[in-house]
Structure 1
Amino acid sequence: MQGQITLSKKERHYQFLYLIVMLLAAIIFLGIIFLKGFESPFSDEDIVSVQSLEEKAKFDQKQKLSFKTLDSTFSMINKLTDETPQAFAENNIMYGINDVINYFQNGENISDIRKEAYPQIAKFYKMYFNDKKIISSKTENIKSFEKQFQECSIGFKEKKSQLFQRETALKSRTP
């Protein structure tokens, strides 16, 4: 009969800790061997975030320069009254709208999503300008129709007075 080797409680705790330490050492050793050539996904994160911040700063600088064009174009459109705009004013407004459309499409490669708002702003300006032109043409038509109405009513009153005079002349002839 063989004698069984029994471990005391303290020895079992030491054996358990020894196995845990050996497992951790094996994991670290194998991790170093297998992951040595592996490129970390976090290594470029700082570079990407710095580039993103630089691009946002570039966009902000260019956006500050665009405010003058945006404001002047809008004020030119807003100043239009219900009269037909002058040709030079219309050309200036169209140049301003085209400048707004092309503001972030010239050369610079900015990938900020906010630049997509500029063509939309230009579409709004164009729509607003077309609305102002429609209002001016309708106002001119109304003025033209009012003038024609006044001329017509003057002619109608003259014809009415002529008919009245003829009727009175005919009544005075008949005994």
Structure 2
Amino acid sequence: MQGQITLSKKEKHYQFLYLILMLFAAIIFLGILFLKGFESPFSDEDVISIQSLEEKAKFDQKQKFTFKLLDSTFSQIDRLKDEAPQPFVENNIMNGINDVANQLANDNTTDIRKDAYPQIAKFYKMYFDDKKVISSKTENIKSFEKQFEECSIGFKEKKSQLFQRETALKARTQ
């Protein structure tokens, strides 16, 4: 018969501590072994941040030139009042809207601000269409007012003619 070997509490604590140290040593050894060939994702962080800042600066320079186009197109649309725009003015506005939409479309920047230009162009197009609707409705209102005045004048003339006929008939019958 074999005697059973028991460990004291102190020996159990040392054994546990030994196993934990062996586990950490194995993790460190395997980590070094497997991760030795990989590049750190943080090593290029400075280069990437510098490139993104340069890209944003280039985009800001390009954006300065587009402000004039945005302002001129908006002011052309805003100047339209109740009358229909002349064909050359309408053509200039449509060219301006298309220029705004295509301003940075072929640019290879990853800046998300370039996605705003097609949206601005859609807004300008809607604003221009609203101005044209207002002008056509204003022209219709003026036309209806003119027709109403002509009808009112014609109605008054017919009314006076009927009154004269009635008075003439009453004068004959008396």
User: Shorter-normalised TM-score: what interval?
Assistant: 0.7 to 0.9
**1:11-40 CA distances to partner (integer Å, 9 max, x unpaired)?**
xxxxx9xxx8x9999887765554332211
Counterpart of 1:128? 127
Structure 1 unaligned regions, length at least 5: 1-15
Query: Segments of 4+ in structure 1 off by > 4 A?
Result: 22-34
Partner of residue 83, structure 2:
83
* Residue equivalent to 1:143: 142
* Cα 1:36–1:157 shift into 2, 3 Å: same
In 1, the alpha carbon distance for the partners of 2:62 and 2:28 equals: 51
- When normalised by structure 2's length, the TM-score is 0.81
Matched, 1:160 2:159: yes
SS in 1 for 2:39: coil
- Counterpart code for 1:85: P
For 1:78-101, what per-residue CA distance to the aligned partner results, in whole angstroms no more than 9, with x for missing partners? 000100100010000000000010
Q: Residue 90 of structure 1: SS of its match in structure 2?
A: helix
Unaligned regions of 5+ residues in structure 2, if any? 1-16
CA distance in 2, matches of 1:173, 1:81: 59
Aligned residue for 1:7?
none
Query: Identity, % of aligned pairs?
Result: 80
The equivalences for 1:24-173 within 5 A come to 32-106=32-106, 108-173=107-172
Counterpart CA distance in 2 for 1:33 and 1:167 is: 120
Count of residue pairs the alignment pairs up = 158
TM-score, normalised relative to structure 1:
0.81
Q: Secondary structure at the match of 1:57?
A: helix
